[in-house]
């Protein structure tokens, strides 16, 4: 398989997206979405119990995607494990064939469907990255040698639209110094947002995959502005969506805006991370309209 890491090294523009493993073992929908986007998307993040709602382990789904020649990116959160379990799970997923990992804190259990669960948060994102880097060098966090060294491509998240951009840049640099080889960002809607972030971070060859969340409606844009820290949908885009509100034109306009955004930022980054949020069926149209795919 020509991997995401290979493509980034070759300076190919990559596209990643997300799949949400279910609460259960019926993966029919996950496989169908992945198959429908094969050829458009280079690799898929497999979320780990998002919003602290228990779901099947992403490492198992990753193995089944690999069996279908689809490249996975395994998300690992600090919420549910201590450092022993985190390292063990990285090695376990690597033994199953997974190479790509993204590390993040994870949503607090109190907000999920098992609110009585005890949060762990033994390591932060930077420390998880460092643990992954140590494993890729043939030793664990305590310096003990491994019997067999995994090949890992390590990623983290970043927020170009953070209110305190200086603090976000410092934290992102820490992730890079800890071993991050690629960054997937929160959604951006303006070229200037990404430009300011890159100028502040100076990623030094680390691949930045800019986040894209297609707008389904003006109402969605307003909700993102009000509820998701770091996302700012410009007034001009809200007005565009308002102009077609309540018509079939909302889908077409949302696709057009997402494609336009990709074209505007394409020269700034190594790829995009398209988060469909239920709009997975429209991702091919977005990528075709952007010129990235035919």
- Which residue ranges make up each domain of the chain? 4-290
Q: Do 71 and 64 contact (CB within 8 A), yes or no? A: no
**DSSP letter string, 160-176:** TT-SSHHHHHHHHHHHH
**Neighbouring-strand partners of residue 208:** 183
Closest CA to 105 of 122, 88, 130: 122
Q: Output the tens digit of pLDDT for each of the chain's 294 residues.
A: 689 999 999 999 999 999 999 999 999 999 999 999 999 999 999 999 999 999 999 999 999 999 999 999 999 999 999 999 999 999 999 999 999 999 999 999 999 999 999 999 999 999 999 999 999 999 999 999 999 999 999 999 999 999 999 999 999 999 999 999 999 999 999 999 999 999 999 998 899 999 999 999 999 999 999 999 999 999 999 999 999 887 778 999 999 999 999 999 999 999 999 999 989 999 999 999 999 998
Report the pLDDT value the prediction gives residue 207, as an integer from 0 to 100: 98
Q: Do 158 and 201 contact (CB within 8 A), yes or no? A: yes
Q: Do 54 and 117 contact (CB within 8 A), yes or no? A: no
Closest CA to 191 of 253, 283, 267, 252: 267
Closest CA to 94 of 124, 80, 73: 73
Distance CA 258, CA 161 (A): 17
Please list, in sequence order, all residues whose beta carbon lies within 8 angstroms of the beta carbon of residue 127, skipping any fewer than 6 positions away.
Answer: 83, 178
Would you call 62 exposed, middle or buried from its count of C-beta atoms within 10 A (0-12, 13-18, 19+)?
buried
Report the pLDDT value the prediction gives residue 294, as an integer from 0 to 100: 83
Q: Which CATH number fits domain 4-290: 3.20.20.220, 3.30.365.10, 3.90.1640.30, 3.40.50.300?
A: 3.20.20.220
Report the pLDDT value the prediction gives residue 1, as an integer from 0 to 100: 66
**Neighbouring-strand partners of residue 73:** 45, 100
């Amino acid at each position: 398989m020509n991997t995401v890491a290979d493509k980034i090294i070759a300076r190919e523009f990559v596209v990643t997206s997300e799949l949400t493993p279910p609460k259960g073992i019926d993966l029919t929908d996950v496989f169908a979405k992945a198959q429908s986007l094969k050829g458009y998307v280079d690799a898929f993040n497999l979320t780990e119990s998002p919003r602290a709602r228990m779901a099947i382990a992403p490492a198992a789904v990753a193995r089944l995607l690999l069996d279908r020649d689809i490249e996975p990116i395994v998300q690992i959160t600090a919420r549910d494990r201590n450092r022993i379990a985190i390292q063990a799970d990285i090695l376990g997923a690597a033994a199953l064939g997974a190479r790509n990992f993204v590390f993040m804190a994870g949503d607090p259990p109190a907000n999920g469907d098992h609110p009585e669960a005890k949060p762990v948060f033994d390591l932060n994102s930077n420390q998880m990255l460092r643990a992954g880097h140590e494993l890729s060098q043939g030793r664990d966090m305590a310096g003990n040698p491994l019997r067999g060294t995994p090949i890992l491509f390590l990623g983290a998240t970043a927020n170009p639209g953070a209110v305190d951009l200086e603090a976000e840049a410092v934290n992102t640099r820490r992730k890079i110094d800890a071993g991050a080889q690629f960054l997937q960002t929160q959604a951006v809607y303006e070229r200037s947002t990404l430009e300011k972030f890159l100028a502040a971070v100076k990623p030094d060859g680390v691949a930045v995959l800019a986040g894209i969340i297609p707008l389904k409606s003006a109402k969605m844009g307003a909700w993102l502005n009000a509820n998701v820290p770091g996302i700012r949908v410009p007034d001009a885009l809200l007005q565009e969506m308002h102009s077609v509100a309540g018509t079939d034109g909302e889908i077409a306009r949302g696709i057009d805006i997402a494609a336009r955004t990709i074209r505007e930022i394409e020269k700034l980054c190594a790829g995009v991370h398209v988060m469909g949020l239920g709009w997975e069926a429209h991702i091919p149209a977005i990528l075709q309209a952007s010129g990235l795919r035919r």
